[in-house]
A = this chain, B = another copy of it.
Amino acid sequence: MRYHIHRRAVLTALLMSAAGAIVISRSPALAQSDPLPSWNDGKAKQSILDFVNAVTREGAPNFVPAAERIATFDNDGTLWVEQPMYTQLAFALDRARALAPMHPEWKQKQPFKAVLGGDMKALAASGERGLVELVMATHAGMTIEEFERIVKEWLSTARQPRFKRPYTELVYQPMLELLAYLRANGFKTFIVSGGGIEFMRPWSEQIYGVPPEQVVGSSIKTRFQMRRDIPELFRLPEINFVDDGAGKPVGINEHIGRRPIAAFGNSDGDLQMLQWATKSGGRRFGLIVHHTDGEREYAYDRKSRFGHLDKALDAAALNDWTVVSMKDDWKRIFAFN
């Protein structure tokens, strides 16, 4: 089965919000001597340690005050698994199936017919328009609290098809250590994802240690209304912002209002964020997670349906960004390994 889904189409489609649930404490047990125990010694690990050392040593030429130590992380493929499809797309498909009994007309109507028949090729053929329709039908039409509950419930039962585990367990242990290491060195860590802001916020703090106010993502519009004297925010079937590609620096500026000094991604959707963070003078750090381990995770880059990494890989060489080979640089990938 071959099909192609445009990343922007999926993102536009996934403009949503709210995931969570499986509350597993995974504070990495850092060895006193090694803040990054799941990383193999090598150039990648060393480049991280060197950067943090350079910007945190008071009086050193590249010292950066703590308030300006902003680090931004992509989510899908950088902090957690994005294959065989973005988690949020899996959520949208499950949600459409759950809602189908209330929509008998979906049996004859694309993109719903494709979803209900499991025909991914036809879903892809419905294009951005079809995906947006799918997302609006599954992510809008309720209050923000209702959506949060729906996402949490889904995450508590859904399982990733290959690993048979909750999606929130499929986060990269070396990246959790990196997040914690940066925070221990005065950094403020943000997520800047093409995924839906309200799909991530319900679980970002428990899983990543990143509170809701430090999550930036795509979004649909909401409307404030009083219902029986109770204020509520109602989710509308209308795109508000697509936080991907050239949208990432825009989202960073709007939400954070400071320029990051370090950025972490894994795909062409992160190219402009990496440029924005690193090409600004002073000591800066860019890092790309390269999915090279088909055995322990997935192997893909230039022609992948999700997490397409082509231009950003070329730019990494030109700009001296660190490219992490998951196979070579990571001792283990998941906490359960």
Contacts and interface: CB of A to CB of B under 8 A. Distances in A.
A213 B253 contact: no
Interface string A278-294: 01100000000000000
Interface residues of A, number: 40
A188 to B, nearest CB: 8
A67 B211 CA distance: 8
A86 B280 CA distance: 34
A198 interface: yes
Interface string A296-314: 0000000000000000000
Interface in A252-291: 253-258, 272, 275-276, 279-280
A260 to B, nearest CB: 11
A254 B224 contact: no
A231 interface: yes
B67 A230 contact: no
Given A201-B257, A257-B198, A275-B226, A233 B250 contact: yes
Contacts of A212: 256-258
Nearest to A219: B254
A38 interface: no
A286 to B, nearest CB: 12
A224 B272 contact: yes
Contacts of A280: 231
Contact of A213 (B233, B250, B255): B255
A211 B280 CA distance: 21
B249 A233 contact: yes
Contact of A272 (B67, B231, B248, B279): B231
A222 interface: yes
A212 B28 CA distance: 30
A144 interface: yes
A253 B144 contact: yes
Contacts of A213: 188, 213-214, 255-258
Interface of A: 67, 144, 188, 197-198, 201, 205, 211-215, 219, 221-226, 229-231, 233, 240, 246-250, 253-258, 272, 275-276, 279-280
Given A67-B205, A213-B213, A213-B214, 10 more contacts: A67-B211, A144-B253, A212-B257, A215-B257, A221-B250, A224-B247, A231-B249, A231-B272, A231-B276, A233-B249
21 contacts: A67-B211, A197-B257, A201-B257, A212-B256, A212-B257, A212-B258, A213-B214, A213-B255, A215-B257, A222-B250, A222-B254, A223-B246, A224-B246, A224-B247, A224-B250, A226-B275, A229-B279, A231-B249, A233-B249, A233-B253, A240-B254
